[in-house]
Amino acid sequence: MQFDRIISVRNNRTVFRDGELCIKVLEDDFPASFVLSEAANMVAAAEAGLNVPKLREVNLHGNKRLITYDYIVGSPILCSDRDDADFRAQRLNLLIDAQLSINGTLCPECIRIPRTVPNFRSTDIACTAHIESNTASIVQRAFDSGKHAAFAADRLCHGNLAPENVILSSNGELYIIDWAYAYPGVPESDAAICCLMLWLTCGERTAREYFELYLKRSVFCSSDAITALLPFAASMLYNRENAAGKKLLLSIMK
């Protein structure tokens, strides 16, 4: 097992390539239940017929938890506000291709609805305990006000569909990774989460272009329904973000 070729680093998670395998290394502040849930979601999505890298094992390496799965030869469909408009549109359409395939799938029974604001890491729990009480209540209120609408259907929602989590393989197929935050719900809620993730990682212009493209391609989703779920989406993302990201998300929830 080699840990010398880093593919990505984000929020105390590092993904390495080891030959034909990817090894996701999670720091010891991630509970075992979080890691096992991600692995189970990954298998369930694959069994539902989606293109997901094959899970190989879940293991421990010292105090770190490992998820090992097949390496997909290809590249993530990254884009940003700095890219050419045609390139952004091409990449965003690929993202929407993946999203429509996910949301068009009946959610496997093993993937559960989150009962409260997702907060999986012990460091996040400690952080939440020390932030101002009115901020904590804003986040919880945004979650509570949107959860009934967001979880009103049984479609599979990815919950973390940033461009970095969609791989365009060398044979032209799209593969979807990072299933830690999957849940059953309405496609509009997943679109709202995706829109905010694009805003946070790619820029506001890219997020707005995604929103317009998604509405054109998703026959049953309305602009009003997605917009109404943006505060809920912000609450779902809040505990994953850094200080700058949290500031933006908090402004959406207020």
Higher-confidence residue: 61 or 123? Answer: 61
Same domain, yes or no: 60 and 144: no
Average pLDDT estimate for 181-192: 98
Angle, in degrees to the nearest 10, between helices 133-150 and 187-201: 140
Residue 1 resides in a domain: no
* Res 4 pLDDT > 70: no
Residue 207 resides in a domain: yes
For residues 37 and 58, give the distance between their C-alpha atoms in angstroms, rounded to a whole number.
Answer: 11
Q: Look at residue 175 in the predicted model and tell me its pLDDT.
A: 99
* Res 123 pLDDT > 70: no
pLDDT digits (tens, 9 = 90+) for 11-58: 788 999 999 999 999 988 888 999 999 999 999 999 999 999 999 999
* Res 125 pLDDT > 80: no
Calculate ∠ Cα 190-195-200, nearest 5°: 125
The contacts of residue 243 (CB under 8 Å, 6+ apart) are none
Average pLDDT estimate for 5-9: 87
The sign of the CA dihedral 119, 150, 219, 225 is negative
Average pLDDT estimate for 75-93: 94
Instruction: Give the ranges where 105-242 is alpha helix by DSSP (H).
Output: 122-130, 133-150, 187-201, 204-217, 223-228, 230-238
Buried b / exposed e along 50-70 (16+ C-beta atoms within 10 A): bbbbebeebeeeeeebbbbbe
Q: Look at residue 221 in the predicted model and tell me its pLDDT.
A: 93
Same domain, yes or no: 108 and 172: yes
The sign of the CA dihedral 129, 133, 139, 142 is positive
Residue 159 CA, distance from chain mean position: 4
CA distances to 24, 38, 54, 75, 244 from 69, rounded to whole Å, are 8, 12, 5, 16, 32
The overall average pLDDT reported for the chain is 92
From 15, 37, 70, the end of a domain falls on 70
Q: Look at residue 246 in the predicted model and tell me its pLDDT.
A: 95
pTM, two decimal places:
0.92
Structural domain span for residue 65: 6-70
For residues 77 and 167, give the distance between their C-alpha atoms in angstroms, rounded to a whole number.
Answer: 6
Domain count within the chain: 2
Same domain, yes or no: 122 and 192: yes
In DSSP notation, 74-119 reads EEE----TTS-HHHHHHHHHHHHHHHHHHHTSBPPTTSPPPSSS--
Q: Look at residue 134 in the predicted model and tell me its pLDDT.
A: 85
From 30, 53, 70, the end of a domain falls on 70
Same domain, yes or no: 56 and 80: no
* Res 10 pLDDT > 90: no
Same domain, yes or no: 105 and 172: yes
Average pLDDT estimate for 155-170: 96
Q: Look at residue 120 in the predicted model and tell me its pLDDT.
A: 45
**CATH code of the domain covering residue 47:** 3.30.200.20
